[in-house]
Chain A
Amino acid sequence: MSENKLIISADKCVGCTKCVKQCPFAALEMDGKLAVVNDSCTFCGSCVDVCPTKAIILNRAEQKGVDLSAYAGVWVFGEQKNGKIQSVVLELINEGRKLADSLDEKLSVVVLGNDMDAACQELLEYSVDYVLQIDAPELADYAAEPYAKVLSDIVSKRKPSIILAGATSIGRSFLARVAVEVKAGLTADCTGLEICEKMLHQTRPAFGGNIMATILTPNHRPQMATVRHKVFKEATKNGGCGGKIEKIAVDDNKLLTSRTKRIEFITDNETTINIAEADIIVSGGRGMGKPENFALLEELANALGGAVGASRAAVDSGWIPYSHQVGQTGKTVGPKLYIACGISGAIQHMVGMNSSDTIIAINKDPDAPIFEIASFGIVGDVFEVVPELIKAIKNK
Chain B
Amino acid sequence: MALNIVVCMKQVPDTTEVRINPETNTLIRDGVDSIINPFDTYAIEEAVRLCERVEGSKTTILSMGPPQVESSLKDALSVGADEVVLLSDREFAGADTWATSYTLAAAMKKLKPDLIITGKQAIDGDTAQVGPGIAVHLDMPQVCYVSKIREINDEVAIVERLLEDGHEVVEVKLPAVLTVVKEINEPRLPSLKGKMKAKKTAVTVWTNDDLDTDPECLGLTGSPTQVSKIFSPPKRGGGEMIDGENAQEKAETVVAKLKELQVI
Contact = CB atoms under 8 A, between A and B. Distances in A.
Indicate yes or no for A touching B, C-beta below 8 A. Answer: yes
Interface of A: 1, 4, 18, 21-24, 26, 38-46, 50, 60-61, 63-64, 81, 144-145, 148, 168-170, 172-174, 176-177, 179-181, 183-189, 201, 205-220, 258-268, 271, 274, 276, 280, 304, 322, 328-329, 331, 336-337, 346, 348, 351, 354, 357-360, 371-381, 384-385, 387-389, 391-393, 396
Main secondary structure of the interface of A (DSSP, over half): mixed
A374 B238 contact: yes
Given A4-B93, A211-B231, A376-B239, A260 B172 contact: yes
Nearest to A380: B247
Point out which of B13, B67, B223, B255 has the most chain A C-beta atoms below 10 A from its C-beta: B255
A43 B93 CA distance: 8
Contacts of B24: 18, 21
Contacts, number: 318
Contacts of A372: 235-236, 238
Given A39-B66, A172-B128, A24 B94 contact: no
A211 B95 CA distance: 19
B226 A186 contact: no
A43 B229 contact: no
B141 A259 contact: yes
A259 B176 CA distance: 9
A266 B235 CA distance: 40
Contacts of A328: 126
A64 B216 contact: yes
A174 B144 CA distance: 9
B224 A184 contact: yes
B166 interface: yes
Interface residues of B, number: 103
25 contacts: A4-B94, A21-B24, A44-B94, A46-B229, A176-B136, A180-B133, A208-B126, A210-B232, A211-B231, A212-B230, A214-B227, A214-B229, A217-B224, A258-B141, A259-B172, A260-B142, A263-B169, A265-B169, A266-B169, A268-B167, A337-B258, A358-B258, A376-B239, A376-B240, A378-B254
B26 A172 contact: no
Interface in B115-167: 123-133, 135-137, 140-145, 158, 160-167
A177 B136 CA distance: 6
Given A267-B166, A271-B165, A174 B132 contact: yes
Contacts of A207: 13, 15, 18, 27, 123-124
B41 to A, nearest CB: 13
Contacts of B163: 169-170
A220 B224 contact: yes
Contact of A210 (B19, B102, B264): B19
A188 B264 CA distance: 34
A110 to B, nearest CB: 18
B250 A385 contact: yes
A277 to B, nearest CB: 9
Interface string B163-185: 11111111111001001001100
Contact of B171 (A21, A60, A260): A260
A50 B25 CA distance: 11
A90 B251 CA distance: 36
A169 B224 contact: no
A389 B254 contact: yes
B226 A218 contact: yes
B42 interface: no
Contact of A267 (B165, B182, B240): B165
B158 A263 contact: yes
A358 to B, nearest CB: 5
Contact of A42 (B140, B220, B229): B220
A164 to B, nearest CB: 15
Interface string B1-45: 000000000000101101111001011010000000000000000
B132 A322 contact: no
Given A183-B98, A377-B241, A393-B264, A388 B247 contact: yes
Interchain residue pairs A-B with the least CB separation, the first 10: A185-B224, A208-B15, A388-B251, A176-B132, A259-B141, A220-B224, A173-B144, A188-B127, A384-B247, A185-B225
A359 B238 CA distance: 10
Contacts of B56: none
Contacts of B129: 172, 176, 179, 186, 188
Given A63-B221, A176-B132, A207-B13, A213 B143 contact: no
Contacts of B52: none
Contact of B141 (A145, A210, A351, A385): A145
Given A177-B135, A185-B98, A210 B15 contact: yes
A1 B124 contact: no
B227 to A, nearest CB: 4
Nearest to B221: A61
A38 B66 contact: yes
